[in-house]
Amino acid sequence: MTSQRPLALVTGGSSGIGFELAKQFAQNGFDVAISGSSGKVHDAAAALRDLGAEAYAHKADAATYEGVEGFWTFVTSLGRPVEAAALNVGIGIGGAFVDNDLEDEFRLIAINVTGTVHLAKRVVQHMVPNKRGRILITSSVSATLPTPYETVYGPSKAFGFMFAEALREELRDTGVTVTALLPGATDSEFHKNAGMANSAIGDMKKNDKTLVARQGFEALMNDVDHVVGGDEDTKQQVVKNRTTPEPEKAARHARMTKLRG
């Protein structure tokens, strides 16, 4: 029998914040389609089934056109309307811009920016005719400051934040909502994968990923334009960032992110 539960998709849903978002959907009555770049995505889907959801796993590289399109084809082949979409997948790259490999930076832009626009296009063109749907875009607190030693990452997340806010306004009155999630530093594999384990931020106590995902899910369900994910200090940091000069924020961030000798 076909499931009566609404369907949500979550990119980068195999671990970290994305897996926690997928759990939020599963625990709140959704079935979930998730993507990831490794076999982990199948284990994650099994864990979501244990929560009572139907869960569909797709392995694809979000850095490529075929990978993004392939996930969307996979989701639409389920033959069900997509009620919610969490465009969450993203990577970071630590280290100095002068040293970093240009190809790696293009890959970051392909995943964080190009891939987000690509899947958003498919999702919006699916949801608007249905006159319903909720879109969550995972940005970052890094969208609110210059991010030296993650020099390309921060601007990619600023793109996500303003893209979400602009799309939200365009889609007003269509029945489709858009929400941005801005997590502070969060306890996932993100900093290790970004090559930043050997930095002050690598060692720092981080926000709980379950809390961050719950805040994102609740903001999505309550049709809030954006939410900062994390504890009270993280939220206060973003308030201060609105009035702190860019050079001051850049110097503070550099102290957190510069790799140790």
Ligand X SMILES: NC(=O)c1ccc[n+]([C@@H]2O[C@H](COP(=O)([O-])OP(=O)(O)OC[C@H]3O[C@@H](n4cnc5c(N)ncnc54)[C@H](OP(=O)(O)O)[C@@H]3O)[C@@H](O)[C@H]2O)c1
Q: What is the C-alpha separation between 171 and 167, in angstroms, rounded? A: 6
Q: What is the C-alpha separation between 167 and 225, in angstroms, rounded? A: 10
When asked if residue 36 is in the footprint of ligand X (CB under 6 A), the reply is yes
Residue keyed to tokens 């609110």: 144
When asked if residue 18 is in the footprint of ligand X (CB under 6 A), the reply is yes
Centre a 10 Å sphere on the Cβ of residue 60 and count the other Cβ atoms it contains.
Answer: 20
Give the residue with the Cβ less far from ligand X, 97 or 172.
97
Contact residue for ligand X among 37, 114, 210, 241 (CB under 6 A): 37
Give the residue with the Cβ less far from ligand X, 88 or 173.
88
Cβ contacts of 52-55, under 8 Å, gap ≥ 24: 52/26, 53/5, 53/25, 53/26, 54/3, 54/5, 55/22, 55/26, 55/31
When asked if residue 40 is in the footprint of ligand X (CB under 6 A), the reply is yes
Q: Would you say the C-alpha torsion 31, 33, 39, 44 has a positive or negative sign? A: negative
Q: Taking CB under 6 A as the rule, which mask of x and - marks residues 181-210 in contact with ligand X?
A: --x-xx-xxx--x-----------------
Q: Taking CB under 6 A as the rule, which mask of x and - marks residues 69-108 in contact with ligand X?
A: -------------------xxxx-----------------
Q: Which one of the spans 169-177, 180-188, 232-240, 249-257 is the region binding ligand X (CB under 6 A)?
A: 180-188
When asked if residue 140 is in the footprint of ligand X (CB under 6 A), the reply is yes
Give the residue with the Cβ less far from ligand X, 128 or 208.
208
Q: Which one of the spans 11-19, 46-54, 94-102, 233-241 is the region binding ligand X (CB under 6 A)?
A: 11-19
When asked if residue 113 is in the footprint of ligand X (CB under 6 A), the reply is no
Q: Which one of the spans 57-65, 94-102, 165-173, 238-246 is the region binding ligand X (CB under 6 A)?
A: 57-65
CA 20 to chain centre: 11
Helices 153-170 and 102-109: crossing angle, nearest 10°?
A: 20
> With contact defined as beta carbons under 8 Å apart, do 183 and 17 qualify?
yes
Q: Least distance from C-beta 49 to ligand X, angstroms?
A: 17
Q: Least distance from C-beta 199 to ligand X, angstroms?
A: 12
Q: What is the C-alpha separation between 8 and 246, in angstroms, rounded? A: 37
Q: Least distance from C-beta 61 to ligand X, angstroms?
A: 5
Q: In this structure, what are the phi and psi dihedrals at residue 133, rounded to the nearest 5 degrees?
A: 150, 160
Q: CA-CA-CA-CA torsion for 51, 52, 54, 60, nearest 10 degrees?
A: 0
Give the binding site for ligand X (CB under 6 A): 12, 14-18, 35-38, 40-41, 61-63, 88-91, 111, 138, 140, 183, 185-186, 188-190, 193
